[in-house]
């Protein structure tokens, strides 16, 4: 991080706030992205748009499965599908917001959505197959988010934190679904 005129005197951290204020006025049209942003912004935006597509596909799959769930044990499973769909939509919204913060545009164009998504949209016939397909999708999301977190590292802590928070929820989803299969 390139904070102007900082010094550490015997454990006392000092910042030249006047220099920071001056720098803040430069490139103001870039919003939250300052010259201290260390990640490759275009790559991060691509990854976030892929994650966004993945979340949208997951919302659609969970919604379909919620409406199509049938059988003796369908009610609690359908309720779980509905809850997961809501949480996946929240993830999509947070990802879209971060994309905008980084000066990008969320790609919500339905054409190519499944191509950009890491997970697949599988309709599935039986309740058990629906659970399995959603569990597969969650496992894909888990590995994808972990890879993104590893790639970003400490170059963009805000995006990393967002991805880690989403990853934690995806792990909970996988655990919930695995419990249904046990």
Residue 80 is assigned to a ligand binding site: no
Residue among 12, 130, 22, 149 nearest 77 (CA): 130
Residue 55 is assigned to a ligand binding site: yes
Residue 133 is assigned to a ligand binding site: no
Residue 118 is assigned to a ligand binding site: no
Torsion of CA 31, 32, 37, 40, to 10 degrees: -70
Residue 138 is assigned to a ligand binding site: yes
Binding site listing: 55, 91, 138, 170, 173
Q: Binding site for Fe cation: what residues are annotated?
A: 55, 91, 138, 170, 173
């Amino acid at each position: 991080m390139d904070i102007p005129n900082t010094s550490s005197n015997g454990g006392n951290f000092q910042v030249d706030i006047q220099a920071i204020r001056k720098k803040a006025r430069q490139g103001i049209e870039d919003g939250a992205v300052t010259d201290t942003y260390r990640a490759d912004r275009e790559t991060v935006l691509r990854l976030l748009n892929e994650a966004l597509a993945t979340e949208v596909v997951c919302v659609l799959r969970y919604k379909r499965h919620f409406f199509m769930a049938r059988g003796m044990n369908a009610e609690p499973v359908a309720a779980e599908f509905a809850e997961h769909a809501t949480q996946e939509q929240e993830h999509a919204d947070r990802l879209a917001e971060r994309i905008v913060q980084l000066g990008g545009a969320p790609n919500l164009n339905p054409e190519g959505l499944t191509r950009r998504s890491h997970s697949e949209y599988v309709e599935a016939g039986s309740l058990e197959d629906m659970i399995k397909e959603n569990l597969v999708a969650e496992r894909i999301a888990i590995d994808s988010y972990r890879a993104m977190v590893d790639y970003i590292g400490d170059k963009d802590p805000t995006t990393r934190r967002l991805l880690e928070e989403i990853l934690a929820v995806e792990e909970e989803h996988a655990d919930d679904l695995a419990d249904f299969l046990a």
